[in-house]
Structure 1
Amino acid sequence: MKGYIFLGIAIIAEVFGTTMLKMSHGFTNLLPTIGLIVGMGIAFYSLTMCLRNIPLSTAYAVWAGVGTAITAIIGVVIWNDPFNIFSCIGLVSVIGGVVLLNLSKGQGKQTEGSH
């Protein structure tokens, strides 16, 4: 459970940092630049802490997948980024990939034990 709390913090901090990256306008706005550094620092620290309890493949897939989906939604809502059927299929594919990686955890252990 503790690993997933750290993973959630890592996702939120990474999405915050990525949003600040956009707002920094190429590191020309000081406060968003500081927010980017702090957000990414917290994200990587929290990701490291979650890896004490969660396998790397699962943690990274969830972190990247959920972070990508939330960041895409923020882009559409705040900055009017384009969203169409291809964007939707891409996001569904990312989320589906995360689900499949999580489902494969049990399958890998069964295969290893049978050798």
Structure 2
Amino acid sequence: MRSALALRGSLVVLVATLAGMSVTHSTAVWLAPRLMAGSASALIFVIAASALLGPLVVTPLLRHGYHQALLLAAGVVLAAAAAAGLLRIGFPHRIGTAAPAPAAPDRRPAGPAETAAARSGRR
């Protein structure tokens, strides 16, 4: 019962603080509702995770059933990390961009000797 009340209260605080964050333009004033929203979000996550994982630990029939799920989740996380690493190595920053523009010729300002030669018509 207390978890349901805490969950509902955290959801209300989260929605209110997210709405309050959009009202201000000052970073200093924005930080207070952001901190409250982060805390409420963390509490919601903990309550939801405990509500889902609690029965798996307590119920004897399912006590050994979550090992396979944990292994599957670990495999998914490792595959995502490997894919992210391969994408980063293979495509560092070229995804979604056009071909690079051709390099501009080197045009440095002319020195005094070159300027005098250009005026006299010599090169």
| TM-score interval, normalised by the smaller of the two chains | 0.3 to 0.5
Q: TM-score, normalised by structure 1?
A: 0.37
Structure possessing the higher radius of gyration over alpha carbons: 2
Q: Which has the higher helix share?
A: 1
